[in-house]
């Protein structure tokens, strides 16, 4: 009799369906969504947006903030979909509502630049602050920029330094450069060319063209380093390879004057024109030297 009971119990267990709890279902859904997001992000990073977007959409619909943010990027930039600021902003907001710092920062950019919304620096600062409070370096840097120039807040060099420093401590290249500029110009701190050079070099090691150019300028002027025109030209040339308009102009001056290189007016003209084409705006003091080289060529400043 006992054997019959055990046999019946075994049969019952064999045919009884196994139901997952809601918690177990949620875990499985999360695993599935994570897998889809991972695939989507890999395609996104490979710039295969046509194949990334459907997967991002699937994961975003399930509430994944990483996918929502990247889907927002696609709509804002027109990657793999028709550009649609309203749709992009929608996905940024959904991710931001979950506290996702990348989306908070992206919303800050939209308001900062007026992309899809009316430009509003105060609203931009609000979003940068929310992301910066989570330690997100990119938001900290841009919040520092707002305090540096007084965009949406009262200009405050002390706060600018604070946020640049927080981001620079995380190795964020723009913050390293911006903090270096504060020390170079003595904004909110005692002017310190050597400290500026340390920060510029950190940024230059990450390929930042502005920092590379400014190192060249320091050698050109002999500020924080021993004046060395050869080294100045070396750094100007390196930054000019990134089509940096400041470096192109500075290198043009060197060729015009024969400083650190053999004098070459034709080369100077070429470099000046490239600098202008990339948006360089000569100062009143610089205009005569440019006109001398370019002759009647108009100083187009797009």
What pLDDT, in 10s, does the model give residues 147-180? 999 999 999 999 999 999 999 999 999 999 999 9
pLDDT at 271: 97
pLDDT reading at 5 higher than 50: no
What pLDDT, in 10s, does the model give residues 187-246? 999 999 999 999 999 999 999 999 999 999 999 999 999 999 999 999 999 999 999 999
Integer Cα distance of 18 and 12 in angstroms: 12
DSSP assignment letter at 192:
-
Q: What is the pTM of this model?
A: 0.84
pLDDT reading at 93 higher than 50: yes
Count the helices and strands in the chain (H runs, E runs).
16, 0
pLDDT reading at 35 higher than 50: yes
Split at pLDDT 50, 70, 90, the class of 99 is: very high
Integer Cα distance of 236 and 222 in angstroms: 15
3-state SS class at 173: helix
Split at pLDDT 50, 70, 90, the class of 139 is: very high
Cβ proximity of 291 and 256 under 8 Å: no
Sign for the pseudo-dihedral over CA of 260, 261, 265, 269: negative
Cβ proximity of 110 and 77 under 8 Å: no
pLDDT reading at 24 higher than 90: no
pLDDT reading at 78 higher than 50: yes
pLDDT at 246: 98
């Amino acid at each position: 009799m006992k054997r019959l009971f055990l046999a019946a119990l075994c049969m019952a267990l064999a045919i009884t369906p196994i139901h997952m709890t809601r918690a177990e279902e949620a875990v499985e859904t999360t695993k599935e969504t994570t897998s889809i997001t991972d695939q989507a992000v890999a395609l996104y990073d490979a710039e295969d947006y046509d194949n990334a977007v459907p997967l991002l959409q699937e994961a975003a619909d399930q509430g994944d903030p990483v996918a929502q943010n990247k889907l927002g990027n696609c709509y804002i930039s027109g990657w793999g979909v028709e550009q649609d600021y309203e749709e992009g902003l929608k996905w940024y907001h959904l991710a931001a509502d979950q506290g996702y710092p990348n989306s908070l920062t992206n919303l800050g950019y939209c308001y900062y630049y007026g992309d899809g919304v009316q430009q509003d620096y105060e609203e931009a600062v609000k979003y940068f602050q929310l992301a910066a409070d989570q330690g997100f370096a990119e938001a900290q840097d841009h919040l520092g920029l707002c305090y540096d120039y007084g965009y949406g807040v009262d200009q405050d060099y002390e706060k600018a330094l604070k946020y640049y420093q927080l981001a620079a401590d995380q190795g964020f290249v723009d913050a390293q450069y911006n903090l270096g500029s504060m020390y170079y110009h003595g904004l909110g701190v005692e002017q310190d060319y050597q400290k500026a050079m340390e920060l510029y070099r950190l940024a230059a090691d990450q390929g930042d063209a502005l920092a590379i150019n400014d190192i060249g300028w320091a050698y050109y002027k002999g500020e924080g380093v021993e004046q060395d025109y050869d080294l100045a030209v070396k750094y100007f040339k390196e930054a000019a390879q990134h089509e940096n308009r400041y470096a192109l102009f500075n290198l043009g001056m060197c060729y015009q004057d024969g400083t650190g290189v053999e004098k070459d007016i034709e080369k100077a003209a070429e470099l000046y024109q490239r600098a202008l084409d990339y948006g360089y705006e000569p100062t009143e003091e610089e205009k005569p030297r440019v006109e001398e080289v370019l002759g009647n060529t108009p100083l187009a400043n797009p």
